[in-house]
Amino acid sequence: MFLKICNTILALIIVIVHIDAFPPIRNDNVPKPRLLLDKYQSYDDVMEFLDVVGEYYHPWVSLVDVGRSYENRHLKTIVISNSDGRRGKNVIFMDAGLHAREWITPAVALYVVDQLLGEFEENAHLLKDYDWIILPLANPDGYEYSRNADKMWRNTRSPNVKDCFGTNLNRNFDVHWSEGYSELLDPCSEHYAGSKPFSESESVAIRDLMLDLVRTGQGKMYLSLHSHNESIYYPWVYER
Ligand SMILES: [Zn+2]
């Protein structure tokens, strides 16, 4: 009897371990996603890659539009969750491309997607206790403008005054908004913080996503990818 109980417990442990490391369910009716890293991808390429990933790795993956850019492009997130059956896990949220000209950052975000799913065995520990929400193109209008018109473009593409366009999304959040230096209120400056906090649909989308994660208590880490220099910036901290 004792041996039987031990065997049952052992079998349960094996099942739990097995479920814990269960590989992504793949849909072989669609081609396997191939992440191309030999050139920077266009907005259309990125959307298509996410769609293929969503179909191929369904139901590990869901695609959620969290809003639209000023020029009506999708702000598409990919939500990655392993199939261990645990609901309401903590969430790591990553965005990329807030600054349009930092082309490497959407590529890095897509690489993370590819690694979490395509190299599941090696990276299973990253999904064990966390779901991931990744927004690879947080500023798609600016990204396309940077690719096609002005390589050094940094901001959104919403119109300001005097034929000047764009808001610096990093400065558009409601944290000491517009404080610091005069260019933040210059609609023709690349530092422009916008006409008011959250004047841009792109920052609103990120704000609302984060508020959801705060409300549910699931949000544990936010990573915003930039490529200005080799630094890690921690959140703005100040005393009231
Ligand atoms: Zn940046």
Residue 228 CA, ligand 1 centroid: distance in Å: 6
User: What strand order describes the sheet that includes 219-225?
Assistant: 61-68, 74-80, 130-135, 90-96, 219-225
Burial class (CB in 10 A: 0-12, 13-18, 19+), 135: buried
d(CA 13, CA 102): 46
Residue 98 CA, ligand 1 centroid: distance in Å: 7
Residue 179 CA, ligand 1 centroid: distance in Å: 18
Residue 143 CA, ligand 1 centroid: distance in Å: 12
pTM greater than the 0.85 cutoff = yes
Residue 202 CA, ligand 1 centroid: distance in Å: 15
Query: Tell me: the pLDDT tens digits for 37-61?
Result: 999 999 999 999 999 999 999 888 9
Q: Name the pLDDT band for 86 (thresholds 50, 70, 90).
A: confident
Residue 28 CA, ligand 1 centroid: distance in Å: 38
According to the model, what pLDDT value does residue 233 have? 87
According to the model, what pLDDT value does residue 16 have? 41
Domains of the chain: 2-225 (3.40.630.10)
According to the model, what pLDDT value does residue 10 have? 43
